[in-house]
């Protein structure tokens, strides 16, 4: 049962399939496309459902809102993504999960402006620091809770180094499906950190030593 002030958490992704057995209560949602907004946030791809399941597994009492920007494929426009983040800010979310990102620097200033608006509203963005070995926006920017992969990390743990949060890239397991055959990757490292942050809310995740990585340094969160 959720407390009187549950964390308000937006998941910007492909929506949620409400009948999936790993999905609990969803507080609401919206679809934002380049040309319109609609109240239907049904997931037709599966990515958003898997991300949501990973988060709800760790924070079942979170008040979750599905913000669908991927409708038929895992592609959208920068304008749509930034509009989605602004919608979350306006709706007074506490956390925004971004299991996505862009490698295109063209809109760097706009990403910085949006992150600044989120920070001013005390909204925490959780996103990937890099993808394909390149900086990923907005996750690599100051003011974002940046996440990177550690395949050796347990799914219910994390560590910090250099101001970055490291987590497992595996989602909630599916019975009978080997982890390498399930969806996996940086999207789920981000989701795992978001779930842990939601569970700890309103406290921030503390800095943790990078065990079993004794050669890495650990910085305060």
Instruction: Kindly report, residue by residue over 3-58, the tens digit of the pLDDT.
Output: 568 999 999 999 999 999 999 999 999 999 988 999 999 999 999 999 999 999 99
Average pLDDT for the chain? 91
pLDDT at 211: 54
With a CB cutoff of 8 Å and minimum separation 6, the contacts of 4 are none
Residue of 84 and 217 predicted with greater confidence: 84
Q: Does residue 221 surpass a pLDDT of 50?
A: no
- Report the predicted TM-score, pTM, of the whole model to 2 decimal places: 0.91
Tell me the C-alpha to C-alpha distance, in Å, between residue 96 and each of 67, 81, 89, 125, 218: 10, 12, 9, 5, 24
Q: Which domains does the chain have, with CATH numbers?
A: 8-200 (3.40.50.200)
Tens digit of each residue's pLDDT (9 = 90 or more) over 180-196: 777 899 999 999 999 99
1 confidence band (pLDDT: 50, 70, 90): very low
**Hey, is 55 helix, strand or coil?**
helix
Q: Is the predicted pLDDT of residue 145 greater than 90, yes or no? A: yes
Measured CA to CA, the distance from residue 9 to residue 140 in angstroms comes to 21
pLDDT of residue 218: 30
What is the reported pLDDT for 182?
Answer: 79
Other C-beta atoms lying within 10 Å of the C-beta of residue 208: 15
Question: CA 23 to CA 101: how far, in whole Å?
Answer: 24
Q: Report how far residue 46's alpha carbon sits from residue 166's, in angstroms, rounded to the nearest whole number.
A: 24
Residue 140: what pLDDT?
97
- Residue 180 has a pLDDT of 75
What CA–CA distance (Å, rounded) separates 2 from 208? Answer: 28
Token output for 71:
């409708």
């Amino acid at each position: 049962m959720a407390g009187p002030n549950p964390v308000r958490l937006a998941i910007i992704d492909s929506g949620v399939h409400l009948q999936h057995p790993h999905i609990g209560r969803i507080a609401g949602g919206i679809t934002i496309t380049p040309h319109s907004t609609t109240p239907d946030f049904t997931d037709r791809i599966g990515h958003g459902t898997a991300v949501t399941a990973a988060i709800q597994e760790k924070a079942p009492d979170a008040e979750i809102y599905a913000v669908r920007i991927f409708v038929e494929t895992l592609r959208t426009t920068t304008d749509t993504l930034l509009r989605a983040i602004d919608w979350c800010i306006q709706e007074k979310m506490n956390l925004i999960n971004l299991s996505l990102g862009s490698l295109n620097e063209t809109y760097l200033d706009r990403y910085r402006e949006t992150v600044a608006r989120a920070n001013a509203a005390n909204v925490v963005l959780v996103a990937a620091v890099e993808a394909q070995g390149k900086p990923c926006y907005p996750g690599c920017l100051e003011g974002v809770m940046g996440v990177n992969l550690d395949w050796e990390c347990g799914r219910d743990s994390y560590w910090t180094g250099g101001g970055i949060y490291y987590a497992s890239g595996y989602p909630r397991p599916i019975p009978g499906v080997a982890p390498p055959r399930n969806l996996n990757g940086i999207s789920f490292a981000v989701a795992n950190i978001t779930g842990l942050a939601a569970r700890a809310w309103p406290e921030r995740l503390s800095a943790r030593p990078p065990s079993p990585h004794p050669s890495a340094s650990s910085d305060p969160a």
